[in-house]
């Protein structure tokens, strides 16, 4: 990771170009750097192997689906309608929603964020380059919008920090039309450093303020390795146990026998018939029996079959245990997607609460990253630096819809009334289009109902 004390502000013309090209570099923004024994094992090859494991990949996909299940929505920075900047905050939020809409960007923002979250979960960090463009239609009014958010291979970028590990910018292993030469003694000019505002950085657990983060999969390595060994042993057990073993017993004092050709004539060597022991003859007969359905043996010999003991439960139990350990690491609890034998309903509900807590934790981290990197950049370049405090918040949803609906119903029964500033978030939660007019106050509706009742009486 390069260190320097120099940094510069990004120029507007740089926002329209893309600079980083995927390639190898000595300053790699990946997690297998100078860390403990387990962390150093999280190289690219191992991460690829982890993603081939059915349990790991399905659990991570489940987590990704849960995190983004409610979609992504910009919410005004100010919710108090009495605030003098309330209207402007709403205007900026509406613009950000249009500037990041799927019909404006080359790829839907949510799709890119899903991919980046999944990659960052395994590697600890994922970097994407932000590219803007001018949009001239009536809705946007000639402002800068998000053209694309392009994720980069972790080997393609390196963080440039000060001596306190505060990120000042990034450098690319290769830039379009230019190659950045890197050596162990790193010396960079400000022109070689791309300002951090040009990038969207998603990272988890910045240990010691290290921007490369920590892999969220590092704790499942032991379970994965044990599972891999168990599967190899299970495969060998199935191979050797598929066909029962047989034991040939020869008679006491059995004489040597002549070795015969396939046509029944004695096998000769230097004019002398070849012989073998009765045990060797029995062995050859049993080996032939493995590929045939019949065998002929002397009357005094015997063949016994060794029955397979057990059904391999020891292996399936070990695999089930390893899978439960993997689920604990990824989802927070083994019962979230695992098979339950005699688990009580209360245990299932407790497991769901744990999974919801973990999901919400990831949501908050993604929301902060989107707000500080994408929404803030669009706000500043279109409305000015002095409006940065009005950068909309990113909202990915709260708890599960069923629980949320129960809470709302209880609040309504208690007489709680929603204010107009709550409507945008309510619309997102219900999956509705943002309303264009305010709802009629509940107290007026109640008064109308009371007047109607009095008239009927």
Q: How far apart are CA 214 and CA 120, in angstroms?
A: 9
pTM passes above 0.85: no
Best CA proximity match to 366, nearest among 117, 196, 138: 117
* 232: Cβ contacts below 8 Å, ≥ 6 apart: none
Q: Where are the domains of the chain?
A: 2-219+346-395, 245-306, 414-456
pLDDT digits (tens, 9 = 90+) for 209-254: 888 888 899 889 999 999 999 999 999 888 877 766 777 788 787 8
Best CA proximity match to 371, nearest among 40, 41, 74: 74
Q: How far apart are CA 29 and CA 444, in angstroms?
A: 59
Token pair listed for 274: 């070849």
pLDDT by 10s per residue, the chain, length 457:
555 545 566 777 777 777 665 543 333 444 333 344 344 446 778 888 899 999 999 999 999 999 999 999 999 999 888 999 999 999 999 999 999 999 999 999 999 999 999 999 998 899 999 999 998 876 777 899 999 999 998 888 888 887 777 888 888 866 555 544 443 445 677 777 888 899 999 999 888 888 888 889 988 999 999 999 999 999 988 887 776 677 778 878 788 888 888 787 888 888 888 888 888 888 877 777 666 665 666 767 777 766 667 788 999 999 999 999 999 999 887 665 555 555 555 555 666 777 888 899 999 999 999 999 999 999 999 999 999 999 999 999 875 545 566 667 777 788 887 777 777 777 766 666 666 655 555 455 455 445 554 555 5
Best CA proximity match to 1, nearest among 129, 164, 202, 151: 164
Token pair listed for 436: 């264009």
């Amino acid at each position: 990771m390069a260190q320097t004390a120099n940094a510069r502000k990004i120029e507007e013309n740089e926002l329209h170009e893309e600079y980083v090209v995927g390639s190898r570099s000595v300053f790699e923004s990946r997690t297998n750097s100078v860390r403990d024994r387990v962390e150093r094992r999280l190289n690219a090859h191992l991460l690829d192997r982890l993603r081939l494991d059915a349990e790991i990949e399905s659990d991570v996909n489940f987590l990704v689906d849960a995190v983004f299940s409610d979609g992504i929505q910009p919410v005004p920075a100010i919710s108090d309608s009495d605030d003098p900047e309330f209207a402007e905050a709403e205007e900026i939020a509406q613009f950000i929603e249009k500037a990041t809409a799927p019909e404006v960007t080359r790829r839907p923002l949510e799709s890119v964020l899903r991919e980046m979250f999944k990659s960052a979960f395994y590697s600890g960090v994922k970097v994407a380059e932000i590219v803007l463009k001018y949009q001239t239609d009536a809705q946007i009014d000639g402002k800068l919008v998000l053209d694309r958010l392009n994720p980069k291979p972790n080997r393609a970028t390196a963080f440039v920090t000060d001596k306190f590990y505060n990120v000042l910018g990034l450098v690319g292993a290769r830039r379009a039309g230019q190659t950045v030469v890197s050596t162990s003694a790193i010396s960079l000019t400000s022109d070689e450093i791309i300002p951090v505002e040009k990038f969207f950085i998603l990272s988890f657990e910045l240990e010691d303020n290290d921007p490369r983060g920590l892999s969220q999969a590092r704790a499942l390595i032991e379970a994965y390795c044990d599972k891999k060994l168990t599967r190899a042993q299970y495969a060998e057990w199935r191979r050797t146990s598929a066909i029962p073993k047989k034991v040939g017993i020869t008679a006491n004092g059995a004489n040597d026998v002549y070795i015969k050709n396939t046509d029944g004539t004695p096998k000769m060597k230097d004019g002398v018939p070849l012989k073998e022991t009765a045990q060797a003859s029995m062995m050859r007969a049993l080996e032939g029996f493995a590929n045939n359905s019949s065998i002929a043996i002397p009357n005094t010999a015997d063949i016994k079959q060794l029955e397979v003991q057990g059904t391999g439960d020891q292996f399936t139990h070990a695999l089930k245990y390893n899978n439960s350990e993997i689920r604990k690491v990824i989802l927070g609890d083994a019962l979230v997607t695992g098979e339950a034998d005699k688990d009580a309903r209360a245990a299932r509900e407790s497991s769901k609460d744990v999974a919801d807590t973990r999901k919400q934790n990831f949501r908050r981290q993604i929301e902060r990253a989107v707000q500080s990197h994408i929404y803030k950049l669009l706000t500043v370049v279109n409305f000015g630096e002095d409006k940065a405090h009005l950068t909309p918040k990113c909202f990915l949803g709260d708890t599960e819809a069923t629980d949320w609906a129960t809470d709302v119903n209880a609040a309504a029964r208690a007489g709680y009334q929603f204010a107009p500033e709550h409507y945008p978030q309510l619309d997102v939660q219900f999956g509705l289009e943002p309303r264009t007019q305010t709802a009629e106050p509940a107290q007026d509706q109640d008064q109308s109902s009371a007047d109607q009742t009095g008239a009927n009486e």
